[in-house]
Structure 1
């Protein structure tokens, strides 16, 4: 597809790409795995690019994006990841921006205007944002030169990080006019690759496998039955390391506990996880990046998009649930090509933890049916449910559990029986308590903005605001200051009982044509297949931890790498150090 308002861009050459690489990114040339990947994108063909963690996947679409007319859309799963990438591109003089839920309506409108006027080359979005009708229509009108799908394994239900929102990207691509599409991932087995191609409907795609073997990495597994044993082993490995280290822990609580244990063991470490406020997270990341703290203890989100090439040691304090996840996280060591070490601290209890999460994530049939019936009872004729997700959880028996209820909702959503609309930024329920006479008498002078706000609510909802109405604060006139300006006004009004208000959570709506079904028409066999696939991935991860043979060969065979050899001479099994 040719973007609106642009003539077709002539095919670029590899020499032109090298010039852009040097000018904007400071590298003299592409690495060997990147060369066929960049050539595939420059040719205008759809492509599936599999490069190992640290292999420079982003450059394979960023450089071609700078060589063609029009806008490149990048689908990215994490707010932190797209923010880091855009900040890096800005420093290098590349016009890029992101759209996500952290932005107000004014910022979103400004960035869309820049895209419309050709002032952006790359625009990063989460798949949920791209699926929104307003965003999709605007981007289709602008015209998309290239669609890049990062972390493309999220598309596949056979992948290790399946996300239903990614599953819609094939339809979204079609609605965008079928632009050239490149899918990128560091971890995809042959069956996952096939699913990515099928779900995105890639046309005669060029598939580039950059080789999964990171020859500078040495793999070790250390048996550590208890948390105390793991702490001691981590401290021993970190003291021997000749450079920065990352310790991955499975939960926020574990991150805090392990970081404290390392500090007690005289290892300078900082903690990083999503439960910390943004200032503390940034402080921890900066301390690690600047070498003031040589060790960072983090959940698995840390490392995506972080440009720290000299990490010499990655320690997994607990076994991940999949070999894909382990290989991706361990691969954050040694991105500069120097020798580095990856250590898995293993105990039998690690598997039981993952079995619990798999059971909770795959709702039992009885839970799905119970949730379905609760939604049917509360739905009106159009399918709109009279309460949000939080209220649903509160209404159902506590014995069902919040996680299984969430899993049941995902099943209903994936079966097109229910839609769960994420809470919009600034979506609130407001009920007017004060009389018009009191409003006129008290909201005067410096309080005039509050009276204007109540008048705006009345214009939108009329008498309904007296019993309660839902408003999107982003839709109110800009003179009120958007959500950030309105919330303080609401808080003052509520404190003096002019109004009562609450933020609205995710909204629920059933397919009105299928609401009469007492048992939801769900493909139960497919659900069971997905559950068994997760168990198989867990089996593979445990197989890696317990193998008596070459660990590198085990990983390469799992990913279908044709260069797998029986022995590497560098892992603990081959070296005889286990």
Structure 2
């Protein structure tokens, strides 16, 4: 094991340029080398990926990484290749012949890491290739997707162990997540069949973050005040909800002298990259974004993150707000809240969640739009337009999109949003004809360009249109987009040796199983998922309403019951400043006795004890600090004895 670890430290320096692992990472890596079933609970930005990527470079065989995030797996593979680590991915967005080729390459030992979407494990191709693959480690990223209690449940995750049963006892296992409550952790362990898991947590304490909730009916005014104060500390980020609002906020704060840019799915991909880079370097000090912003973006010195609207879960809030202060310096996650926000969020969730009948209707319309007959299977992913589902199904935009997301989560379809621009080419000549064209071509530059295209797009481009990532093509050819389009137009219209397509960013969808007359799940399953979303929203609301330490509330929610009042969130500072409200020992005893009988909210404790609100809050804070009481995340705003 020590030899493995020494090699891991050497590779950490060689490929990533780091002299040593972060605290916690070293423990995880050693656990993996020891052959322990390992569950990793690290906060956002805690360096989870290195916990399996570095061991992957040490093992003789391959590491299989299960991930539900297609865009993220593509980015990680690209980053690994840039560092000199061999890696690839297979998912529903690449043609079946390319999947087959990559699996053959994997069988031949060409990759150290193979990223795979969970639904791929159920295909006949995967089942045929699995016995031939030398897999030394299975890494399950975003492991909270295993649990029906998680905020991003995916049923296909629950079948991972079954799909890999033939190698389960011969390989190492690691599961990783940034957001897992105790019930989710338990569900992960049971679903993955971990018998004696080594659970390694860096805890959910972020002592440099000053958690703050601003309750006001004048949110615009409070937002402006918060940004002006935040700008004095450094760069920041506003989660603005809708695309339209992000554009409005960018314009508004730029007029006030704080350069701000809007980031959302409607912005062109190249422009989005440029916005990210300007924010990371500090050229743009503030970004107003939808929740699409943040994945894979690392800016250590973000000093404040403001949520103008309340997120739908504490998991989402903790991840997004946690983008502040990754360098360890004082930073401010701020949530703006007005009284009607919870009611609006509850109504929005209710109105956008489909019934089983509506879900089935959306599925049938989707299959019709792809001209997919009952019993037929889709071979490749195709572009998808939500407007078709909306109009033909007579559904609202919100309900149509929710239907697609649910079908994706339940493993009925694979949906990839914001697919990067692509170039599609098919040669209209055969291989020998193309060779003759090059030989007779009087333009050496054109002949060389055609040769590069043939090598890049491969032999299958003589039979079908083959699509490749636009950035990849431009990089390999060393051309700008306009130059490439002009050159391809000449080859298509003048020389007539190929046809081509330029695809903008789009959403791709693939129906994963043969079309059926009815969806394979029950009304109870659909309603159970719906109820869980409402429960998550209620717990998020509880964070807003709590009158005691916000860090305690968050850490209790994620299972850290040892948390004590932080002393620097808005609630702690408010109670500290009110010196006259410090409760006497008999008042603390009175609150203790009331909680001994049953759990209560602050309002109930005020009524039962006839004490003022400040004294009740102080007493509850004292009991939390002394580890005698805690929040009850399953019943927001209530407190129980430990």
> What is the RMSD of the two structures over their aligned residues, measured on CA atoms?
4.6
Deviation, structure 1 residue 100: 5.0
Tell me: CA distance 1:535–1:382, structure 2 relative to 1, closer, same or farther (3 Å).
Answer: closer
Alignment partner of 1:221: what SS?
Answer: strand
What residue number does 2:180 align with?
188
What residue number does 1:483 align with?
466
What residue number does 1:434 align with?
none
Deviation, structure 1 residue 364: 2.3
Contact 1:363 1:408 in 2 (8 A): yes
Deviation, structure 1 residue 304: 2.5
Structure 1 distance, partners of 2:347, 2:193, is 35
Contact 1:360 1:407 in 2 (8 A): no
Post-superposition CA distance 1:305-351 (Å, at most 9, x none): 22322222222221111111111111122222222221112223432
Contact 2:240 2:307 in 1 (8 A): yes
Q: Which has the higher contact order (CA 8 A, sep 6+)?
A: 1
Structure 1 distance, partners of 2:415, 2:572, is 50
TM-score, length of structure 2 as denominator length: 0.68
What pairs with 1:367-446 in structure 2 (closer than 5 Å)? 367-368=358-359, 382=375, 399-401=394-396, 403-404=398-399, 419-420=412-413
Structure 1 distance, partners of 2:525, 2:535, is 15
Contact 1:362 1:527 in 2 (8 A): no
Tell me: CA distance 1:127–1:91, structure 2 relative to 1, closer, same or farther (3 Å).
Answer: same
Q: Which moved more, 1:88-97 or 1:273-282?
A: 88-97
Tell me: CA distance 1:261–1:521, structure 2 relative to 1, closer, same or farther (3 Å).
Answer: same
Deviation, structure 1 residue 219: 0.9
What residue number does 1:468 align with?
none
Tell me: CA distance 1:217–1:115, structure 2 relative to 1, closer, same or farther (3 Å).
Answer: same
Tell me: CA distance 1:360–1:121, structure 2 relative to 1, closer, same or farther (3 Å).
Answer: farther
Contact 1:140 1:177 in 2 (8 A): no
Deviation, structure 1 residue 283: 0.9
What residue number does 2:87 align with?
96
1:52 lines up with 2:43 in the alignment: yes
Alignment partner of 2:301: what SS?
Answer: coil
What residue number does 2:632 align with?
none
Structure 1 distance, partners of 2:96, 2:365, is 34
Q: Which of 28, 40, 57 pairs up with 1:37?
A: 28
1:527 lines up with 2:510 in the alignment: no
What residue number does 2:597 align with?
none
Tell me: CA distance 1:141–1:254, structure 2 relative to 1, closer, same or farther (3 Å).
Answer: farther
Contact 2:408 2:414 in 1 (8 A): no
Contact 2:543 2:554 in 1 (8 A): yes
Contact 2:241 2:290 in 1 (8 A): yes
Alignment partner of 2:211: what SS?
Answer: strand
Q: Which moved more, 1:275-284 or 1:355-364?
A: 355-364
Deviation, structure 1 residue 99: 4.1
Deviation, structure 1 residue 545: 1.4
What residue number does 1:321 align with?
312
Contact 1:136 1:176 in 2 (8 A): no
What residue number does 1:575 align with?
573
1:554 lines up with 2:545 in the alignment: no
Structure 1 distance, partners of 2:291, 2:384, is 27
Q: Which moved more, 1:27-36 or 1:100-109?
A: 100-109
Contact 2:390 2:396 in 1 (8 A): no
TM-score, length of structure 1 as denominator length: 0.75
What residue number does 1:198 align with?
190
1:228 lines up with 2:226 in the alignment: no
Structure 2 distance, partners of 1:174, 1:298, is 42
Contact 1:383 1:509 in 2 (8 A): no
Deviation, structure 1 residue 128: 4.2
What residue number does 2:208 align with?
216
> Aligned pair count?
520
Contact 1:235 1:265 in 2 (8 A): no
Contact 1:105 1:482 in 2 (8 A): no
Tell me: CA distance 1:111–1:251, structure 2 relative to 1, closer, same or farther (3 Å).
Answer: farther
Q: Which moved more, 1:147-156 or 1:362-371?
A: 362-371
5+ residue gaps in structure 1? Answer: 1-9, 426-447, 454-473, 494-498
Contact 1:71 1:122 in 2 (8 A): yes
What residue number does 2:286 align with?
295
Alignment partner of 2:153: what SS?
Answer: coil
5+ residue gaps in structure 2? Answer: 420-425, 432-456, 469-484, 494-498, 578-642
Q: Which of 105, 115, 128 pairs up with 1:124?
A: 115
Contact 1:248 1:315 in 2 (8 A): yes
Tell me: CA distance 1:319–1:537, structure 2 relative to 1, closer, same or farther (3 Å).
Answer: same
